Amino acid sequence: MMQMRDLAKSSGEWLKGAGPHSDVVISSRIRLARNLVQFPFLAQATRDQKQRVLDIIRERLVAVPESSKLTFVELTAADPVDRSLLVERHLISRELADGDWPRGVAFCETETISIMVNEEDHLRMQVLRSGLELADAWRQIDRVDDALEAELDFAFSAQLGYLTACPTNVGTGMRVSVMLHLPALVITREIEKVFQAVAKVNLAVRGLYGEGTQASGDFYQISNQRSLGKSELQIIENIESVVPRIVEYEKIARDRLMAENRASLEDRVWRALGQLRAARTISSEETMHLLSAVRMGVNIGLIKDLSIAAINQLFIHIQPAHLQELRGEVLDTDERNVERASYIRSRLNGSASESH
């Protein structure tokens, strides 16, 4: 099994900064919610039933294509830093990390696939890909779903579709999310217009770590609100048609900022990099904010010699659990802020040069 320390040091495939529209679209995610027909939903299940759900699903994971590459983490046995690490890596939800019942997660080496057991539903499968890659992500998760469905009996109604703990997931059990980096639309204050347009086509906007979280570092997740009454492909098509328009808005805003406010835009970008290279103590919130400006600076060609992959990785590595895992000890907030600043300096100093 993969060690958590190795996971902390590495970087998921979805962070590589490749794929269509990857200057604006960080990642595409599809997750499917499924429940075993022979057990009650988790809210009604006893601890023993939850344990059996976990055991059964874990055992059947061998059916998943390339299952030999899966790492399974029993979360009851994992320490808090390891659990937070998995949250920061987008491999599990905060809810699954914080639970106290039998639960676990399986994920593959590239981190494209993760399978949560006993989150809100018995089974939540996720595929996470770099850039706007929904069609590919769908093919991948569909194969995982088919493989598991051949082994497990999923709760399904001919009339409604897949049955889920929360009615909003009934039907396809699918949520499609695309994570976007929209710094220029935030600067030009046009981001609200995007939200309004997105709401009209029944899509939701969320923060970086899903439902109820704040957008931080100018990252926004666009996802479907409905999973019922539409096919999986219709849901994907809806998002596939909307996202490129948002990407276009963002690029127009970047171009306009460069044309009309070049000094102020360059100032923002270079100061952000300057602060990151200089800071001796820094919160993760401020880091996200500054990295966001640096990422835009690389996208618009101001900063050379710094890759999007390196910046994407920094966004993850500067999170609390990653810092502690990399350092090998538990750190309080002040210590983390110092460690974070030191880590960032080691990654950014001497690496980026100016474009003129």
- Interacting residue with its own copies among 38, 46, 231, 264 (CB under 8 A): 264
User: Is the CB of 275 or the CB of 292 nearer to its own copies?
Assistant: 275
d(CA 62, CA 147): 9
* x/- map, 244-263, its own copies, by CB under 8 A: -------------------x
Place of tokens 């499917």: 32
CA Rg value for the chain: 21
85: number of Cβ within 10 Å: 28
Nearest distance from C-beta of residue 43 to its own copies, angstroms? 46
Number of residues that bind its own copies (CB under 8 A): 19
Burial of 298 (0-12, 13-18, 19+ CB in 10 A): buried
Nearest distance from C-beta of residue 334 to its own copies, angstroms? 8
Nearest distance from C-beta of residue 54 to its own copies, angstroms? 43
User: Is the CB of 65 or the CB of 274 nearer to its own copies?
Assistant: 274
d(CA 296, CA 252): 13
Annotate 125-180 with DSSP letters as a single string: EEEEEESS-HHHHHHHHHHHHHHHHTTS-B-EETTTEE--SSGGGTBT-EEEEEEE
The three-point CA angle 265-268-270 to 5° equals 105
User: Is the CB of 47 or the CB of 271 nearer to its own copies?
Assistant: 271
User: Is the CB of 51 or the CB of 261 nearer to its own copies?
Assistant: 261
Contacting range for its own copies; rule: CB under 8 A; set: 63-71, 184-192, 278-286, 304-312: 278-286
User: Is the CB of 110 or the CB of 281 nearer to its own copies?
Assistant: 281
- Interacting residue with its own copies among 270, 289, 316, 331 (CB under 8 A): 270
- Interacting residue with its own copies among 275, 284, 292, 319 (CB under 8 A): 275
Contact predicate 208/27, CB 8 Å: no
d(CA 145, CA 29): 15
Query: CB under 8 Å to 156, separation ≥6 — which residues?
Result: 37, 162, 163
d(CA 277, CA 195): 34
Nearest distance from C-beta of residue 269 to its own copies, angstroms? 8
User: Is the CB of 135 or the CB of 278 nearer to its own copies?
Assistant: 278
d(CA 308, CA 330): 29
User: Is the CB of 120 or the CB of 266 nearer to its own copies?
Assistant: 266
The end-to-end CA distance of the chain, in Å, is 47
Nearest distance from C-beta of residue 279 to its own copies, angstroms? 6
Nearest distance from C-beta of residue 293 to its own copies, angstroms? 11
* x/- map, 279-298, its own copies, by CB under 8 A: xxxx----------------
- Interacting residue with its own copies among 167, 229, 274, 350 (CB under 8 A): 274
150: number of Cβ within 10 Å: 9
Nearest distance from C-beta of residue 190 to its own copies, angstroms? 23
User: Is the CB of 130 or the CB of 337 nearer to its own copies?
Assistant: 337
- Interacting residue with its own copies among 48, 100, 332, 334 (CB under 8 A): 334
Q: Where on the chain is the footprint of its own copies (CB under 8 A)? A: 263-264, 266-267, 270-271, 273-275, 277-282, 334, 337-338, 341
